[in-house]
Each structure stands twice: as structure tokens, then as C-alpha cells.
Structure 1
Amino acid sequence: MPLLALIVTGCAKLVGVLVRWLTQLHLFLYGILPALLPPDRLRTLMRRYYDLSYEQAGTRIPLTAYSWSLETWEERILTQHLSPPATILVLGAGLGRESLALAQRGYRVLALDVARGGLIVGARRAASLHLPVTFIQADFLTLPVQAASVAYVLLSGVMYSAVPGRAQRQAWLRSLRTCLTPGGTLVLNYVIAREPDTALTRMSRRCTRAILSWPGSNPTYQDGDTCTNDHFMHVFRDEHELRTEITEAGATLIELHWPDGYAVLS
């Protein structure tokens, strides 16, 4: 028995080493992926990611497992910058967390998402609570909304960082003028760099720089672009980068709260 226990212990340690190595390799490969794929391919991967994510919503995972309330920073935004009754467009609505909470507070809500599975769950829950939320399946970058029809736009979660390419994010911000009423307000969330610089991230950056010299690499790649399980994300390195990107797009910053990762624009 002592010999068997020794063998089992050794195997367990070996498996642990292999798992850690494979995890590092997994992170490295996804880290260099945005340098290889153009923005349209990155968006396709993300769409598949969300389709798969919402397949389990409401079926394998009970709805009671999800939070249906606003986060602290969202409550703060409502108090300081928004006021009902008004029409608010939620982009990247998912299961409808923000949309339902906003409807309960007296807003007329248009909830838009590319993944049908999440919208079905949200629509069923809205119906059970008798909340007037309109759910729309569409790509939020195309903005299939009538001109000057909404007073507020909320970009849900980290969706601003999920737009591949600085130029495309800026073009999207400019296009919002068509659907917002004069003086309308946009609230967006973004991802900031919180992880420490490691040997793995430094190696990933070196490999990325080499890849960018190859023909056919992604010409829109920026430092801070990464992927996790097929989900693209641009991680903003500092507040100046974000401020410059927004102001160059012609938007006016009303508030930028860097630590909590949100900005209010007009």
C-alpha cells in the first residue's frame, strides 16, 4: 500500500504540472490570436461564444441562479445622469438583467443582443413580471434603431472592449448620433488592465510583434488586444488611452470613472 500511495501521489503531481503547463499554453495561444485574425473573424468567434453560453440559460441552469438587479455603479449612473420616463436602448442585453431592472424603474426599454438564446429567456421573464421590454435580435454595431428615437444608450457589461479595433470603436461612437435624441446620453463599460505583467505576457507580446510583420496579419491590432475562450477583448492600459479614443471620436465626456470601468458621454 505505501508503494501504491507513492505512485498515486507522483502521478497526481505530474498531472498537476501538465495542467498548469497546458493552462499557460492555452492563455498564450489565445493571447496572440487577435494578431492573426481580422476583426470580422474575431466577431464571428464571439457570436459563437455567446450562442453557446446562452444555450444552457433557463434550461440546464435555473433562472434563480442569475442576478436580475443593477450593479452599484449602474444605480449611481441612474441617480446622477438618467431620469425616467424615457426610452433607453440596452446594447448587449444578454438575459435582460439591466433591461428588466430599468423597466421596473419606469424606463421604456429596447433590449438588443446578437444571441437569440439569451433574449428568449429575458422575454419570458419580462412577460412573467408584466414589464414592457422590447427584445431585438441584431448586431449592436449596426444599430437597427430609428433616428433620434432614444434618450439614453447603455452598452451592457464589457461590450465596448469587445469591439475589435480602435477605428471601429470610434466609428461606432460616431454612428450613435443617429439614434440618440439631441442631448442624449451614452453609458459604456470597458475593461482595464488589472493583471500583473508576467513572463507569459511578455513572451506573448514578443510573439505578437513578430506575427504583425507577417503578410495577412491583423492590421487593426493594438497592444492590449486579447482573447479568452474565443471572446475578444481590448484591455485599456491607462486612462489616457481611453480618454483620447473617446474624444477623438467627437464625443463629450461627462464622467469617466476609471477604477469602476465606466464612462458617461454625450
Structure 2
Amino acid sequence: MRRGEFLDPHLVTVYDAECPWGRDDDFFLSVANESPRARVLDLGCGTGRLTLALAAAGHTVTGVDPARASLDAARAKPAADRVTWIEGTSRVLPDRAFDVAVLTSHVAQEIRADDKWARTLADLRRALVPDGRLAFDSRDPAARRWERWNPRDSRRRLALPDGRVVDAWTEVTEVRDGLVSFVHHYVFPDADELLSSGTLRFRTEEELRASLAAAGFTVDRIHGGWGGEPVGTSADGEFVVLARAQD
């Protein structure tokens, strides 16, 4: 049965098991903490892993996501009342309401069409105060990480909170014009298999820089990994982008 990974409550639980706190969360939290008690936007907040940590660090946090099942899971977590949760996209953002905005877990790659990406950046520029900070991650296409998304290299076992173990793997179905399509397979102990398909946009560094400039952002720096490595020198295979809203 094919379902949306962030829309189905069963798969939202699997997502939480598969995506615990990591080095990327440490990085984004440290970026926000450079602005003490900031007003922080987590766009594409999902089930709230980083969102809740930002609030616990003393920031005033708003989490926005279009997937209701993910937001329901976030709202059910301890201390969720510290966060303002909003179901929607960048279109719902108020003007000049945030000091820092983050898009994590490769949310930027979920925005595939160039016009929608441009609209998202324009909305973020509108929502940030002048000189407000934007941070996001996007996989470096030169690293070709999707080549590891095959039934052998991607196979993993996920332990759920109720004790069940799910067997999972990923397979790529198409690579074309900067887009990589794939299917996640999740096999539950009762042999029920759920499928979650998706497509991600892999933008080059030049494309990211051009789109940010067009939206009114100045790029401070782009790292190639979570340790601050130059692009192309880290096994992480990332673009970790830090930019500022122009006055």
C-alpha cells in the first residue's frame, strides 16, 4: 500500500524512529543560539524534533508544516505548548516576524519547481527582519548520494516505541533533470508493507546562490558538511547554507 510518509500516522511514527537527533540538528541549533532568545521559524518542521529543542533553548519558536499528521505528532510531544504550530506553507508567514528561519532535513529539496522555490524564498525574505538569518541544507548533486539508495546499501531495521521492528529500504526509480525519484519500503512484523514515494530536487551551488540573490538574500557562507568543511571536501555531501536578508 502506497502512502505519504508525512501524511500517514503509521509512517510518521516510523519517521521519528528513523530520524533521531543528529549532527545536523546540533548545527542548526547552534546557528539559532548565536542570536539569544530569538524569534525562530522552523519551516517544514515535521514532527518537531528540532522545533522543540529550539524552544527549550529559550527561543520563541513557530513551527510550520503542511502535513497535519506530522503536526499532530509534534503537538503530542512533551513541552509542545512552548511552540506555535501552524498548518500551512510559507504563504502563511507574517511580515518581519522572525530573526532566524531554518529549513532542515532537506526540506528545501522537497520544493521542486523553480517558481515555488522562488516564492518560498520571497516569503522567507518577507517574514524575516532586515539582516535576519536563513539557514538550510540541500544535498550536493556532485556527491551523487542517491546512488546509495538501493535495496542493498539502504537496508535498515527500525525499532518503534511499541517494540515492533520494521525492515526498511529505499530504491531510486528515476534520475532526470536534477530530480531524483524514489520509493521507501517499510515491512512491518505482520508482513504488511507500506510504500512512500517522493521526488527531491538537487540544485547546484550556483543555482542556490542565484535564487537567494534574486530573493533578496546575501550568502554568508556555504559549507560542505556539518563540521564546517568546504564544499566538496566532506563525506556528508551537503550544501549547508547560511544567508542574511538584505536591508
User: Could you tell me the TM-score, scaled by structure 1's length?
Assistant: 0.61
Structure 1 stretches of 4+ moved >4 Å: none
What is the match of residue 136 of structure 1? 86
Whether 1:248 aligns to 2:214 is yes
Give the number of the structure with larger relative contact order, counting CA–CA contacts within 8 Å between residues 6 or more apart.
1
Q: Which amino acid counterpart does residue 75 of structure 1 have in structure 2?
A: D
Q: The residue matched to 1:247 in structure 2 has which SS?
A: helix
Larger Rg: 1
What is the match of residue 50 of structure 1? 6
Q: How many Å separate the matches in 2 of 1:257 and 1:78?
A: 16
State which of 121, 127, 131 in structure 2 corresponds to 1:179. 127
Q: How many Å separate the matches in 1 of 2:50 and 2:28?
A: 12
Say if 2:6 and 2:12, in contact at 8 Å, map to a contact too.
no
Whether 1:86 aligns to 2:38 is yes
Q: Which amino acid counterpart does residue 45 of structure 2 have in structure 1?
A: A
State which of 106, 111, 119 in structure 2 corresponds to 1:158. 106
Aligned runs of 1:31-70 on 2, under 5 Å?
A: 48-52=4-8, 54-58=9-13, 65=17, 69=21
Say if 1:91 and 1:153, in contact at 8 Å, map to a contact too.
yes
State which of 88, 93, 99 in structure 2 corresponds to 1:145. 93
Partner deviation per Cα, 1:61-88 (whole Å, 9 max, x = no partner)? 597x46553x324433444563220111
Per the alignment, do residues 254 and 93 of structure 1 end up closer, same or farther by CA in structure 2, a change over 3 Å counting? same
| Cα offset, 1:56, TM superposition | 4.0
Partner deviation per Cα, 1:13-54 (whole Å, 9 max, x = no partner)? xxxxxxxxxxxxxxxxxxxxxxxxxxxxxxxx9x944213x4
Whether 1:119 aligns to 2:68 is no
Per the alignment, do residues 182 and 231 of structure 1 end up closer, same or farther by CA in structure 2, a change over 3 Å counting? same
Say if 2:100 and 2:132, in contact at 8 Å, map to a contact too.
yes
What is the match of residue 261 of structure 1? 239
Q: How many Å separate the matches in 1 of 2:66 and 2:42?
A: 12
Q: The residue matched to 1:161 in structure 2 has which SS?
A: helix
Q: Report the count of equivalent residues.
A: 190
Partner deviation per Cα, 1:163-195 (whole Å, 9 max, x = no partner)? 122233123212222211121111111122233
What is the match of residue 51 of structure 2? 99
Partner deviation per Cα, 1:76-106 (whole Å, 9 max, x = no partner)? 3444563220111111111100101111111
What is the match of residue 239 of structure 1? 205
What is the match of residue 228 of structure 1? 182
More strand, by proportion: 2
Q: How many Å separate the matches in 2 of 1:184 and 1:91?
A: 15
Q: How many Å separate the matches in 2 of 1:149 and 1:196?
A: 36
Q: What percent identity do the matched residue pairs reach?
A: 23
Runs of at least 5 residues in structure 2 that lack an aligned partner in the other structure: 148-173, 184-196, 225-236
Q: The residue matched to 2:74 in structure 1 has which SS?
A: helix
Q: Which amino acid counterpart does residue 144 of structure 2 have in structure 1?
A: E
